[in-house]
Amino acid sequence: MSHVTDVPTTGPMNTVLTWLLRNHIWVFLALTVTVFSLASPYFLTVNNIGNILTQGAFIGILAIGMTMVMIDGEIDLSVGAILALASALAIGLQDHMGVWPAICLGLLSGAALGFVNGTLVALSGMHSFVVTLGGLIGIRGLVFVYTGENALMVQDFSYTEIPEIYIGPISLTAIIFFATALFFQWVLSSTRHGRETYAVGDNIEAAHDAGINVKRHKIINFTICGTLAAVCGILLSMRLGTAEPNAGKVWELWTIIAVVLGGIRLQGGFGSMWMTIGGVLTLAVLRNGLRLLNTPNYVELMVMGAVLVLALVLDKLLNHGGDGQ
């Protein structure tokens, strides 16, 4: 973990300043919300905020698993493909075995593939980028083979009613996202597994010497990541009523963008779910706000690229010894 060296750490003002420098994504989020509120009358309405939360939740659920893996110093590129497989299984199997068994099997497929990724990383010592890049290609192939290259349609539309539960403007999807994020924040900050996550990401040799079972630990985190990707896939299939084989195609990249925007570093050993939530919300607000302003699609893509580089530069300037190699 790197420290803010310029700022003396005494006094309430400095504490606030340090917190702001560490969590600059929330400052940026507040800024974007202000700008879009001024620019569009439709932005700061209860309905739209509910929309943003629901739209952000899908990438958000992926981002939670990615955060766990990234704090470990690893990366998972296969979440998009796992998502597609889980949604295809949940819709494709429910005619044969009923809705809930199909959902369980979808979740199980995600957990199994995450377990396979983790096991390969732990046993072979290969870079997780290589393992999950292979997984991204292969699992997508699995999806195409299973669906026969067609989009699967849900037969019983009561399936799409399942996530239509709202508390005020907040949908069940968004609630699941926040609940999972808070749960894993608790895991990170208050359990042995969480403490070990930081230890492994920070210095894997030291963690091993300290008696942490590094391999088992990594397998668990990859399994969590795969399971959450499956959760996201199933929620997506409920929302859309279909499972197309290309679902979630570049979502792994958007997920990484959200997590990195939050301030989590690829080297590992640093970060929290608060940062991830901030990154996910910022991404969702930017996408939603730009669409409300009626900007063409390409502006969104270009702004995302620019913001991401800006976030890296800021991180480097504010927190010394930042994300450089």
Site residues (CB under 8 A) for another protein?
Answer: 75, 120, 122-127, 129-131, 133-142, 144-145, 149, 215, 253, 256-257, 260, 265-266, 296-306, 308-309, 312-313, 316, 323-325
Min dist CB 115 to another protein, Å, is 15
Pick between residue 180 and residue 255 the one whose CB is nearest to another protein.
255
- Do residues 99 and 156 touch, judged by C-beta distance below 8 A? yes
Q: Where are the beta strands (DSSP E) in 9-157?
A: 152-153
Q: Where are the beta strands (DSSP E) in the chain?
A: 152-153, 166-167, 170-171, 242-243
Pick between residue 66 and residue 235 the one whose CB is nearest to another protein.
66
Min dist CB 56 to another protein, Å, is 17
Pick between residue 30 and residue 301 the one whose CB is nearest to another protein.
301
Q: Which of 261, 303, 299, 292 is nearest to 278 (CA)?
A: 261
Min dist CB 165 to another protein, Å, is 34
Pick between residue 151 and residue 312 the one whose CB is nearest to another protein.
312
Q: Where are the beta strands (DSSP E) in 127-206?
A: 152-153, 166-167, 170-171
Residue 246: is it exposed, middle or buried by C-beta count within 10 angstroms (0-12/13-18/19+)? middle
Residue type, 120: L
The CA distance from 191 to 210, in Å, is: 17
Min dist CB 164 to another protein, Å, is 32
| Residue 306 vs residues 181, 214, 234, 299, 310: alpha-carbon distances, Å | 27, 36, 32, 10, 6
Pick between residue 133 and residue 182 the one whose CB is nearest to another protein.
133
99-124 and 214-240 helices, crossing angle to 10°: 150
Min dist CB 166 to another protein, Å, is 32
Min dist CB 297 to another protein, Å, is 6
The CA distance from 52 to 48, in Å, is: 6
* Positive/negative CA dihedral, 203, 207, 208, 210: positive
Pick between residue 75 and residue 281 the one whose CB is nearest to another protein.
75
Min dist CB 300 to another protein, Å, is 7
Pick between residue 1 and residue 38 the one whose CB is nearest to another protein.
1
